[in-house]
Amino acid sequence: MTAIDFKRFFGKMAPSPSSPVRVMAKETAIVASHINLVYRNGGEEFNALQDVSLTVKSGEVHLLMGPSGSGKTTLLSILAGLLTPTSGQVHLLGEEITQFSRPRLAAFRLQHLGFIFQGFNLFPALTACENVEVAFHLKGTHQARRQAIELLDQVGLADRCNHRPQALSGGQKQRVAIARALAGNPQLIMADEPTAALDSQNGHAIIELLRSLAKTSGRTVLIVTHDPRILDVADRVTDLEDGKIVTKLTKAKPGQQ
Amino acid sequence: MASIARKNLFEDIPRFLVAQAGIMFAVSLVTIQLGILKGFSRSTAIVIDYARADLWVASKEMVAFELTSPLPADYINKSMTVTGVDRAEILLVRAGRWHGHDGKLSPARIFGFNPDGELFAGWRLSDGNLNDLKQPYTAIVASGVQKSLGLDETRIGSIAGLPVTIVGTAEDVQSNASSPFLFSSLETANTYGDAEINSSINCIRQASGDLDCTNSFKNRPLGQKNGDLAPPKPLSLSDPISYVLIRAKPGQDLPQLKQRLLSALPETQILTQAEIAAITRNYWEVRTGVGFILGLGATVGFIVGMVVVGQILYASVADHLREFGTLKAMGAANSVIYRIIIEQSLWMAILGYVPSMGICLTLGQWTQMTRGIMILIEPSTAAAVLLLTVVMCMGSAIFAVQKVTRLDPAIVFKA
């Protein structure tokens, strides 16, 4: 097994215990207030998000749904601190991240957020274990290899530790990505269309994994999706259309949408 | 220990090899251009470098080693009378036209010196012996020019109708800027130098009292056989010579000796070996423009290399943009990504440099052996090229880093 030298790059990234980004989990994990995002193209303005307000409680699985172009992923990017809104505020775990500088935002994401992407976004040159190790090393965690194997074991891929992404199926890749998102035990998981690139069987397996994650660990999970099968695991659903929230449903059940 | 940078590099071996070929091309281009420039510069005065004289007596009009006005041969005797001179030797520099055994014509530079001397012939002989030059009409040839002189196993040719028998080969002594070098005894070189053209002036006094003169030039007949030849005429004190090489007595103050020689030998300049070498190199590098052109070639090589490496690295970063975006989204600081890019560029530099240097060294040996052209890659040149390669790669990495700096981490959510 080849030990990857991420520590050389990431060893200094671990925040100290007194780091200002260290926050306590609150009753509400995400509070977005009056979010507006306006794109300007020449003289024209396009309102990608209009007065969006949203609250996600700690420990709940929250779905953002809506047709293509409704602004779901844009909202997710803002809530993750990857995109700055034109106006409005975002509080994550009690911190107003819209006031953060870019380096502080990056440090906050590193400590508290895990990401799952539609296209997996694994590093093709690295093995499954090394892909998970990256996250641990970014966080400055020791014994990254052992913990990476443990996480891969949790997602049922311990035997694929030394496989590169191209040797894995779509479902397996997404499970590696989920293991990576869980590295360092973040309080918030943000997933963008986690089943969109998967066939029905693999999609179902990922849904089950997300359900298990949410229910057993008490993490807050925010999922952008088109997939109605994920409604099974959701506590609440927010529907977006044309950059506006049109409905908010609580305790969604299959077929309720 | 593996690293992301190295793993990224070796992820796609064919792509890696193509990229490395580009870097090797750039490194080789710079190395060869620099090597040619340095080799050219060194070779123009290499004959001087091999000499073991403390001082050189040259004409006041001398502008370069091979471009000088004659001195009277009796300057050697005058030199010997100067206090502090231990030894003095004559050096002749003559031009000639070489007729090869194959009948082809080639210019030649003939150096005449005393085979028993101690101050001029410091070069290494791969075959033959300096004593062989005591035989009339013999010469030692610089290695690498045999082909341009049309020399075959018979090792004979002629200059101005006089035969030349090659009796040895001097290694690494040929100037890249000059005609093929031949080394002979003073007598033989002097005879070759004088024998090219016979001239005579016939004058008739006219009735008016004016003189009507006719100057006749006549080439010497070709193909004279050795048996028909008179031996080379000994050098007389009235013959023109090119330089007097001086060895000072131990403990002599050279500046003072220079002054004494200058007083004893009018219309001369007295130079140390380093000075005459520097004057000669400066002449070729600056006055002829050859150095400028070769320097320009090296500069262009560096710029082309920088562009090639920059494109390769930029393309590599573009290929991994989503991965870098993912790292940024996960919370990695820009410095983390910069270190990956810079390490990748350093790997590319080292892995491109090592084989390129091997190729260039081999090429340099081959050109020296086969054509007598010096591509000089000294340790300092190799170190400088390594530094340049690292600078090229790091400089190129700056462009790639800028791309990552501007990278929107929200790219990760774009399918």
**Average pLDDT for residues B322-346, to the nearest whole number?**
87
Tell which residue, A236, A255, A254, A205, has the closest CA to residue A65: A236
Inter-helix orientation angle B334-371/B321-330, to 10°: 150
| Res B213 pLDDT > 80 | no
Give the span between the Cα atoms of B255 and B244, in whole angstroms.
Answer: 17
Residue B284 is assigned to a structural domain of this protein? no
pLDDT category of residue A26 using cuts at 50, 70 and 90: very low
Give residue A12's pLDDT.
40
Q: Do A119 and B322 touch (CB under 8 A)?
A: yes
> Could you tell me the two tokens for B61?
């009009």
Q: Do A9 and B336 touch (CB under 8 A)?
A: yes
Give residue B195's pLDDT.
63
**Radius of gyration over every alpha carbon of chain A, rounded to an integer in angstroms:** 18
- Angle value at C-alpha B348, between B342 and B351, nearest 5 degrees: 140
Cα distance from A255 to chain B (closest Cα, Å)? 27
**Average pLDDT for residues A142-152, to the nearest whole number?**
89
> Could you tell me the two tokens for A83?
């995109």
Q: Tally the domains of chain B.
A: 2
Give residue B316's pLDDT.
77
Give residue B94's pLDDT.
92
Cα distance from A126 to chain B (closest Cα, Å)? 7
**Average pLDDT for residues A238-250, to the nearest whole number?**
87
Give residue B201's pLDDT.
64
Give residue A54's pLDDT.
94
The torsion of the CA quartet A179, A184, A185, A188, rounded to 10 degrees, works out to: -90
Q: Do A82 and B330 touch (CB under 8 A)?
A: no
Give residue B33's pLDDT.
85
Largest CA distance in chain A: 57
**Average pLDDT for residues B377-404, to the nearest whole number?**
83
Q: Do A117 and B413 touch (CB under 8 A)?
A: yes
Give the span between the Cα atoms of B86 and B250, in whole angstroms.
Answer: 8
In b/e form, how buried is each residue of B35-44, taking b as 16+ CB within 10 angstroms?
A: bbbbbbbbbb
| Residues B254 and B359 placed together within one structural domain of the fold | no
Ranges assigned E (strand) in chain A: 28-41, 44-57, 61-65, 87-92, 95-96, 113-116, 188-192, 220-224, 236-241, 244-250
> Could you tell me the two tokens for A43?
């003289």
Distances (CA, A) of A145 to A120, A124, A134, B100: 20, 18, 10, 75
pLDDT in tens, B7-52: 888 888 888 888 888 888 888 988 888 888 888 888 999 999 999 9
Residue B239 burial (CB count, 10 A): 18
Give the span between the Cα atoms of A209 and A211, in whole angstroms.
Answer: 5
Which of B405, B413, B414 to mutate against chain A (most A CBs within 10 Å)?
B413
Residue B76 is assigned to a structural domain of this protein? yes
Closest-CA residue of B relative to A114 is: B330
Closest-CA residue of B relative to A191 is: B413
Q: Characterize the bridge pairing of strands A87-92 and A95-96.
A: antiparallel
pLDDT in tens, A87-117: 999 999 999 999 999 899 999 999 999 999 8
Cα distance from B54 to chain A (closest Cα, Å)? 57
Give residue A254's pLDDT.
47
Closest-CA residue of A relative to B7 is: A125
Which of A10, A13, A68, A82 to mutate against chain B (most B CBs within 10 Å)?
A82
Give the span between the Cα atoms of A204 and B350, in whole angstroms.
Answer: 48
Residues of B in contact with A73 (CB under 8 A): 413-414
Cα distance from A133 to chain B (closest Cα, Å)? 11
Q: Do A138 and B332 touch (CB under 8 A)?
A: yes
Give residue B389's pLDDT.
83
Cα distance from B281 to chain A (closest Cα, Å)? 49
Give residue A9's pLDDT.
41
Mean pLDDT of chain A: 83
Among the residue ranges A116-130, A235-249, B147-161, B220-234, the one predicted with the least confidence is B220-234
Residues B220/B160, Cβ–Cβ less than 8 Å: yes
Residue B250 is assigned to a structural domain of this protein? yes
What residues in chain B have their Cβ under 8 A from chain A's Cβ atoms? Answer: 1-4, 7-8, 10-11, 322-323, 325-333, 336, 339-340, 408-410, 412-415
Give residue B292's pLDDT.
83
| Residues B129 and B200 placed together within one structural domain of the fold | yes
| Res A165 pLDDT > 90 | yes
| Res B92 pLDDT > 80 | yes
**Average pLDDT for residues B316-325, to the nearest whole number?**
81
**Average pLDDT for residues B197-213, to the nearest whole number?**
70
- Proportion of chain B above pLDDT 90, given as a percent: 42
Among the residue ranges B102-116, B225-239, B312-326, B364-378, the one predicted with the least confidence is B225-239
Query: Which of B234, B266, B298 is at the close of a domain?
Result: B266
Residues B36/B285, Cβ–Cβ less than 8 Å: no
In b/e form, how buried is each residue of B308-342, taking b as 16+ CB within 10 angstroms?
A: bbbebbbebbeebebbbbbbbbbbbbbebbbbbbb
> Phi first, then psi: what are they for B158, rounded to 5°?
-150, 155
**Average pLDDT for residues B332-340, to the nearest whole number?**
86
> Could you tell me the two tokens for B286?
């600056």
Which of A49, A102, A117, A187 to mutate against chain B (most B CBs within 10 Å)?
A117
Range of the domain at B140: 61-266
Domain at A6-13+59-81+102-250, CATH homologous superfamily = P-loop containing nucleotide triphosphate hydrolases (3.40.50.300)
Give residue B395's pLDDT.
80
Residues of A in contact with B346 (CB under 8 A): none
- Angle value at C-alpha B266, between B264 and B268, nearest 5 degrees: 105
- For chain A, which residues make up each domain, given as ranges? 6-13+59-81+102-250
Residues B115/B130, Cβ–Cβ less than 8 Å: yes
Tell which residue, B144, B172, B138, has the closest CA to residue B42: B172
3-state DSSP assignment of residue B171 = coil
| Residues B75 and B196 placed together within one structural domain of the fold | yes
Give the span between the Cα atoms of B138 and B131, in whole angstroms.
Answer: 10
| Residues B112 and B213 placed together within one structural domain of the fold | yes
pLDDT in tens, B254-291: 999 999 999 999 889 999 999 999 999 999 888 888 87
Sign of CA dihedral A77, A82, A83, A89: positive
**Average pLDDT for residues A200-225, to the nearest whole number?**
82
Give residue B134's pLDDT.
94
Residue B392 burial (CB count, 10 A): 29
**Average pLDDT for residues B76-105, to the nearest whole number?**
92
Distances (CA, A) of B211 to B201, B217, B245, B266: 12, 19, 43, 34
| Res B253 pLDDT > 80 | yes
Give the span between the Cα atoms of A203 and A230, in whole angstroms.
Answer: 9
DSSP state of B408: -
Give residue B376's pLDDT.
87
pLDDT category of residue B217 using cuts at 50, 70 and 90: low
pLDDT category of residue A173 using cuts at 50, 70 and 90: very high
Give residue B246's pLDDT.
96
Give residue B200's pLDDT.
60
Residue B279 is assigned to a structural domain of this protein? no
Give residue B76's pLDDT.
94
Give the span between the Cα atoms of B27 and B20, in whole angstroms.
Answer: 10
DSSP B81-94: HSTTEEEEEEEEEE
| Res A163 pLDDT > 50 | yes
**Average pLDDT for residues A82-87, to the nearest whole number?**
92
Residues of A in contact with B413 (CB under 8 A): 73, 76-77, 82, 117-118, 192
Which of B44-48, B210-214, B232-236, B294-298 reaches the highest mean pLDDT?
B44-48
| Res B401 pLDDT > 90 | no
pLDDT in tens, B141-169: 998 888 888 888 888 899 988 999 999 99
The residue with greater pLDDT, B413 or B361, is B361
Q: Is B15 exposed, middle or buried (0-12, 13-18, 19+ CB in 10 A)?
A: middle
Give residue B101's pLDDT.
81
Residues of B in contact with A162 (CB under 8 A): none
Whether chain B has a CB inside 8 Å of the CB on A120: the answer is no
In b/e form, how buried is each residue of B197-217, taking b as 16+ CB within 10 angstroms?
A: eeeeeeeeeeeeeeeeeeeee
Give residue B227's pLDDT.
54
> Could you tell me the two tokens for A212?
């298990």
